[in-house]
Structure 1
Amino acid sequence: MKFDAVLIEPRIREMTEKGFWHGKTVNDYFAACLAAGPDKLALTSISVPSGDRRDLTWAELDRLADRAAVGLSRLGVVKDDVVSCQLPNGWQFVATYLGCARLGAVFNPVMHIFRERELSFMLKHGETKVFVIPKLFRGFDHEQMVDGMLPDLPHLSHVLVSGGEGARDLEGLLFDPALDDEPELAQIVSRSLPGANDVCQLIYTSGTTGEPKGVMHTANTMYSNLVPYADRLHLGADDVILMASPMAHQTGFMYGLLMPIQLQARTVVMDLWDKTIAARVVAEEGVTFTMASTPFLMDLAAAVEEAKSDCSSLRIFLCAGTAIPGPVVERAQSVLGAKIVSAWGMTENGAVTLTSPEDPDDRSINSDGLPLAGMELQVRRADGSEAGAGEEGELFVRGCSNFGGYLKRPQWNNVDAEGWFDTGDIARKDAEGYIRICGRSKDIIIRGAENIPVVEVESVLFKHPAISTVAIVGYPDERLGERACAFVVLRPGQSFSFEDMQAFLKEHHFSRNYWPERLEICDALPSTASGKIQKFALRKILSDELKG
């Protein structure tokens, strides 16, 4: 696979000279963990449905990573091949990724909620060579789904199934102890180790283009974010990090997989969110840090309050994805005793801004923090000039953790000649430099920290024979931040129900998370003289209704 990460080369000299790009990969950081304490506990993997638990030291995780590298090599995986992984959080996910890193393979984490429609595009566009999936997860048969997709995936050579059988048995092919006897392990690994400026991660994000965009990252772009992030939060080797957000999402991947290795810290991962189990894990494992969206924070506080758990070890809960309501912060801090830190970021550049533990509590309520070292922000007016303090405008970002570009779509990179990336967000900056995200200039709904691909969902609904016009907009939700509402104008004599909409989206293999949770049938939609639908007017209708 040839990667067109055109945004990397122009920054190498400057970012290296300024000390933001350290030239280290996950293999370098893992080697340091192994040297410092091979018998130190590195990973605790908890399966909520089964109750299974597995504890691994750095030495044990090293052996699993070597086995994965050997197993993948025997399947023909070489440097720059793409390995896609739809596994839930667990030791198999971590070890598979580390095995890929030792081969220089590019790791493509995909969310477990994705179905045929999303996956068929991603796997084909990314030229996936190996796809790693669970047999069953949350009652869904992933193997059966993939079997139906195979005729349309010419690059896919192997499907590995956790809990599978025979030629697809993930555990047998990648984690068999017999793989320890591979005599050429050193040669397999040494001939393909990636450099810090090589693409090592391909991760898809939904936006306004009508198709997912393949974000390319290198070790330098990701670790240049993780190092100052950990410094801002005073995290170190003695911390215990809980990660219940999916590792297939950038939050889980960067801050639950990569960062603990950088810190030589222990991670506890959960494959499903269960607030009662999470509260028990925090108390029993001495968790000191976690990062998730607002619903997780609300749930954890409720569970701790109900069970009267001792969660005094938890120092920081970093909350990102949407603004944190003041009452939620106040209650969480009272119940958990932890500092609630707010942050803003994107798949394209990780967490760009965050408050610090030393900030007053209201900073997390009223702002999304200050930029991390190596990142610059500009808030611009419509004419391109820089906005003044407190003035809303379009948010642009430039710096070390910005991505390498969108795979095969450089025309969508949204980076100007000076290196400024158009985030698509509306923000304001106060006199001290703190940012507050106010909205989005692009047509995106963020539900529970997940982007809903509005254009793609609308385009499918347009195909329904009963629908003349459709527009999907977000409306506020206390738990998830936003939910989606579909406004529909029907063709003469037609009918269309909420159940019809759900059935149609299911028929077109959309993830349930992308289905609008509300349907409004209208005679007409507000529009401009040129016919463009005024979505702000639809949002106001919903907002006024909620207030009323």
Structure 2
Amino acid sequence: MSKLQSVADVLTLEDTLEFEKVPVEQRYPWSNTYDIFQQSCRDYASDKVMEFLPTGVKDDIAIPVTYEQLLARLHQTANLFHGLGVNSKDAVSIMLPTLPHTIYAIWGAQCAGIASPLNPLLEPRHISEIIEVTGSKVFVAMAPMPSAPHLWETTKAVLELSPQIEHLVLISLPGITDSIPDGLNVTVTDFNQQLEEQNPASLDSGREFKGEDIACYMHTGGTTGRPKVAQISQANFAFIAQFYKDRVSDRPRENVFAALPMFHIYGLMVSGIGAIAAGLNIVIMTPSGFRNPNVIENFWHHIERFQFSAFPCVPTILSLIYEVPVGDCDISCLNEVLSGAAPLPIQLKKNFEERFDCTILNGYGMTETTVMLSVTSSKQPPPAGATGLRIPYAERIIGHVDGNKLVRRCEPGEAGVVLSRGPNIFVGYMEDSDNEKAWVDGWFNTGDLGYEDEHGFLYLTGRAKDLIIRGGHNIDPVIIEDPLLKHPSVAQAVAVGQPDDYAGELPVVYITVHPGAEYDEEELMAFAADTISERAAVPKRITVLDEIPLTAVGKIFKPELRRMATETVLLERLAELGIQARVECIHDTEKGLTTSIEVAEASRVKELEEALQGFALSISIR
């Protein structure tokens, strides 16, 4: 029997091992999400479970929902889907902005069958590919929104590409959406209207849940190629929800800042079922979350109004918030920031903590780990640069791998591939081809590189595919980015490999600067040369951008920077040769980055082909 009663008291690797003396099923007995919702709604029936801010302006009128209302809506939503033919192994595709209805749809779908949240900013072809893989016949979307016409255009395009869809369920909101249109070649269901006709007290299906049941199909990636679809079980969600509840058990019930998209595992867990399991109140910051300028502009006002003690975020958004003046807002309530989804620059962490008198806790996880692999605690902050200890019951090792074989485990301080297994690890991808490189002798291969120190703290050193390979020498972008972030003018720095016909790749850096900052590119290059530890890592070029390209969930979109770098170097080579041509670099869903060059003088095509033959690129010249 362990002397530790709560995971909130786990601060060291020794504590983790002590905590694990009690079997996981004794600490966290729930094996499915439905039981967790039922328990929370019994415990906190008339308390608020969420408040919705439609616009994010100051003193926006918040629309409340109680726990007992939530359970009724989950029953009604599940029963609506069940009436459309959804059973325990059927998927419901859900493409919605962040609304209370999104919570009803995602978790109601898990009560009826399998939820499949979709990123509405994906190309319709990618969304259709996901729908085809999951076999979904029910598609949940927004009715036409004048403020976001692209959503309806995407919906129509997806329907044209997905003949398997039999039912379109549309969400309408007074004053936000137009009327539901006619003439669609699919059965259309008005969600709001049909919901009121459903049984609010129980599940009509009489479903009995098992931990191994698939609860959710979460797509990963998908911006440059075919998305992979990860299968997350009821037990995966239940474990993390109970872990989250246990972790905040030593704190008072409070409001949760919800501005992350719920089609992403981070928002789905931290401002979703984790918060609900803990009996917290989720404050939904507009349908578009952090992408809404009002949310950023009035950020500190919202912190004061709702007395948030913490908020979940990603590093790119933190850099935007860093520039927002506090003004006369009293933000003394704020203690912690939960940073995840991408590596946290050390300098940004230091500056943010000093300016706003709070602690940034840098976690680590991904879709396939049901959001969590490592956690940190403000009770005992980890060493600088560490992402924390492994979560209890989730084993983690660092290893040298060869294909799907573990060659050996690494010693403390020795870098290798991060591998994990445990109750948080997903079931696997839906397509066998995606699973081929995902497992190493029973361990999930995260694809991340890092090392653990002798105390069990994990340090990430990069991702295998993000390495810049210069003449066979592997360069970690972090050793370029972190020194540049110490320059007083630099707000963000992202290093990528620029194609080179001699070295294969050369490092280049794209930066943004602080508002009003003065800079000189030659001085920045000199600063980089003086502060970057490896000579091979000193960038060939530093380019200042107005903003760094981001994905829909706020992650830095490195493929776009690689595209820009490729286009730049090819245009330079054309100028050196005195050849006039049009260069177009695009992300092909099958081939990755491809380049097309249209030469003005046909007689010079052969010359250009020879001049560019050293580049390891897919180039079409005509």
Category of TM-score, reference length = shorter chain: 0.7 to 0.9
Work out which of the residue numbers 249, 273, 280 in structure 2 matches 1:265.
280
Aligned position for 1:106: 114
Q: SS at 1:348's partner residue?
A: helix
Q: SS at 2:582's partner residue?
A: coil
Aligned position for 1:239: 254
Matched, 1:345 2:362: no
Q: CA distance change for structure 1 residues 38 and 474 in 2, over 3 Å: closer, same or farther?
A: farther
Q: CA distance change for structure 1 residues 276 and 92 in 2, over 3 Å: closer, same or farther?
A: same
Aligned position for 1:485: 562
Contact in 2 for aligned 1:208/1:443 (Cα 8 Å): no
Contact in 2 for aligned 1:106/1:202 (Cα 8 Å): yes
Contact in 2 for aligned 1:199/1:217 (Cα 8 Å): yes
Aligned position for 1:310: 330
Matched, 1:322 2:337: no
Work out which of the residue numbers 312, 330, 334 in structure 2 matches 1:291.
312
Aligned position for 2:435: 412
Aligned position for 2:539: none
Aligned position for 2:150: 141
Q: Which amino acid aligns with 1:376?
A: E
Q: CA distance change for structure 1 residues 182 and 87 in 2, over 3 Å: closer, same or farther?
A: closer
Q: SS at 2:106's partner residue?
A: helix
Q: After TM superposition, list the pairs within 5 Å mapping 1:444-463 onto structure 2.
A: none
Matched, 1:395 2:414: no
Question: RMSD over aligned Cα, in angstroms?
Answer: 4.0
Q: How many residues align?
A: 478
Work out which of the residue numbers 242, 252, 257 in structure 2 matches 1:227.
242
Q: Distance in 1 between matches of 2:167 and 2:467?
A: 34
Contact in 2 for aligned 1:339/1:357 (Cα 8 Å): yes
Q: CA distance change for structure 1 residues 174 and 207 in 2, over 3 Å: closer, same or farther?
A: closer
Contact in 1 for aligned 2:309/2:336 (Cα 8 Å): yes
Contact in 1 for aligned 2:103/2:272 (Cα 8 Å): yes
Q: Distance in 1 between matches of 2:228 and 2:114?
A: 16
Work out which of the residue numbers 30, 36, 40 in structure 1 matches 2:43.
36
Aligned position for 2:452: 429
Q: Which amino acid aligns with 1:198?
A: D
Aligned position for 1:336: 356
Q: Distance in 2 between matches of 1:439 and 1:319?
A: 17
Contact in 2 for aligned 1:290/1:318 (Cα 8 Å): yes
Contact in 2 for aligned 1:374/1:400 (Cα 8 Å): yes
Q: Distance in 2 between matches of 1:532 and 1:509?
A: 15
Aligned position for 1:126: 134
Q: Identical aligned pairs, as a percentage?
A: 18
Using the TM superposition, give the Cα deviation of residue 481 of structure 1 relative to its aligned residue in structure 2, in angstroms.
5.1
Q: After TM superposition, list the pairs within 5 Å mapping 1:352-391 onto structure 2.
A: 352-360=373-381, 363=383, 365-381=384-400, 384-391=407-414
Q: Which amino acid aligns with 1:403?
A: F
Using the TM superposition, give the Cα deviation of residue 291 of structure 1 relative to its aligned residue in structure 2, in angstroms.
1.4
Work out which of the residue numbers 271, 274, 296 in structure 2 matches 1:256.
271
Q: Which amino acid aligns with 1:216?
A: Q
Q: Distance in 2 between matches of 1:90 and 1:235?
A: 29
Using the TM superposition, give the Cα deviation of residue 98 of structure 1 relative to its aligned residue in structure 2, in angstroms.
3.0
Work out which of the residue numbers 156, 160, 163 in structure 2 matches 1:154.
163
Tell me the alpha carbon deviations over residues 447-484 of structure 1, each in whole angstroms, 9 at most, x when there is no partner: xxxxxxx9xxx9xxxxxxxxxxx999995657765642
Contact in 2 for aligned 1:237/1:264 (Cα 8 Å): no
Using the TM superposition, give the Cα deviation of residue 317 of structure 1 relative to its aligned residue in structure 2, in angstroms.
0.8
Q: Distance in 2 between matches of 1:357 and 1:415?
A: 33
Q: Distance in 2 between matches of 1:208 and 1:144?
A: 19
Q: CA distance change for structure 1 residues 496 and 429 in 2, over 3 Å: closer, same or farther?
A: farther
Q: Distance in 1 between matches of 2:203 and 2:360?
A: 47
Aligned position for 1:117: 125
Q: Which amino acid aligns with 1:227?
A: Q
Q: SS at 1:496's partner residue?
A: strand
Q: SS at 1:380's partner residue?
A: strand
Q: Distance in 1 between matches of 2:342 and 2:613?
A: 28
Q: Distance in 1 between matches of 2:153 and 2:222?
A: 28
Q: CA distance change for structure 1 residues 137 and 19 in 2, over 3 Å: closer, same or farther?
A: farther
Q: Distance in 2 between matches of 1:46 and 1:186?
A: 29
Contact in 2 for aligned 1:208/1:442 (Cα 8 Å): no
Contact in 1 for aligned 2:300/2:326 (Cα 8 Å): no
Contact in 2 for aligned 1:286/1:314 (Cα 8 Å): yes
Listed as ranges, the gaps of 5+ residues in structure 1 are 1-13, 447-453, 459-469, 534-548
Q: Distance in 2 between matches of 1:211 and 1:444?
A: 22
Q: Distance in 2 between matches of 1:408 and 1:532?
A: 28
Contact in 2 for aligned 1:474/1:485 (Cα 8 Å): no
Q: Distance in 1 between matches of 2:78 and 2:222?
A: 34
Q: Distance in 1 between matches of 2:366 and 2:187?
A: 32
Matched, 1:192 2:215: no
Aligned position for 1:495: 581
Q: Distance in 2 between matches of 1:474 and 1:250?
A: 31
Contact in 2 for aligned 1:15/1:400 (Cα 8 Å): no
Q: SS at 1:366's partner residue?
A: coil
Q: Distance in 2 between matches of 1:367 and 1:154?
A: 48
Q: CA distance change for structure 1 residues 17 and 49 in 2, over 3 Å: closer, same or farther?
A: closer
Q: Distance in 2 between matches of 1:45 and 1:199?
A: 29
Q: Distance in 2 between matches of 1:161 and 1:391?
A: 52
Q: CA distance change for structure 1 residues 249 and 409 in 2, over 3 Å: closer, same or farther?
A: same
Q: Which amino acid aligns with 1:419?
A: G
Q: After TM superposition, list the pairs within 5 Å mapping 1:75-90 onto structure 2.
A: 75-90=84-99
Using the TM superposition, give the Cα deviation of residue 102 of structure 1 relative to its aligned residue in structure 2, in angstroms.
2.8
Report which stretch shifted further, 122-131 or 436-445: 436-445
Q: Distance in 2 between matches of 1:307 and 1:172?
A: 47
Q: Distance in 2 between matches of 1:42 and 1:255?
A: 14
Q: CA distance change for structure 1 residues 120 and 482 in 2, over 3 Å: closer, same or farther?
A: closer
Aligned position for 1:442: 465
Aligned position for 2:528: none
Aligned position for 1:537: none
Report which stretch shifted further, 290-299 or 425-434: 290-299
Using the TM superposition, give the Cα deviation of residue 138 of structure 1 relative to its aligned residue in structure 2, in angstroms.
6.1
Matched, 1:175 2:196: no
Tell me the alpha carbon deviations over residues 70-117 of structure 1, each in whole angstroms, 9 at most, x when there is no partner: 3323333222221111211111101112322332x2111111211213
Q: Which amino acid aligns with 2:253?
A: D
Using the TM superposition, give the Cα deviation of residue 225 of structure 1 relative to its aligned residue in structure 2, in angstroms.
2.8
Report which stretch shifted further, 68-77 or 395-404: 68-77
Q: SS at 2:137's partner residue?
A: strand
Rg bigger for which structure?
2
Work out which of the residue numbers 272, 276, 281 in structure 1 matches 2:302.
281
Report which stretch shifted further, 14-23 or 345-354: 14-23
Using the TM superposition, give the Cα deviation of residue 424 of structure 1 relative to its aligned residue in structure 2, in angstroms.
0.9
Contact in 1 for aligned 2:245/2:277 (Cα 8 Å): no
Using the TM superposition, give the Cα deviation of residue 152 of structure 1 relative to its aligned residue in structure 2, in angstroms.
3.2
Q: SS at 2:332's partner residue?
A: coil
Q: CA distance change for structure 1 residues 356 and 133 in 2, over 3 Å: closer, same or farther?
A: same
Contact in 1 for aligned 2:421/2:443 (Cα 8 Å): yes
Q: Which amino acid aligns with 2:221?
A: S
Q: CA distance change for structure 1 residues 290 and 236 in 2, over 3 Å: closer, same or farther?
A: same
Matched, 1:57 2:66: yes
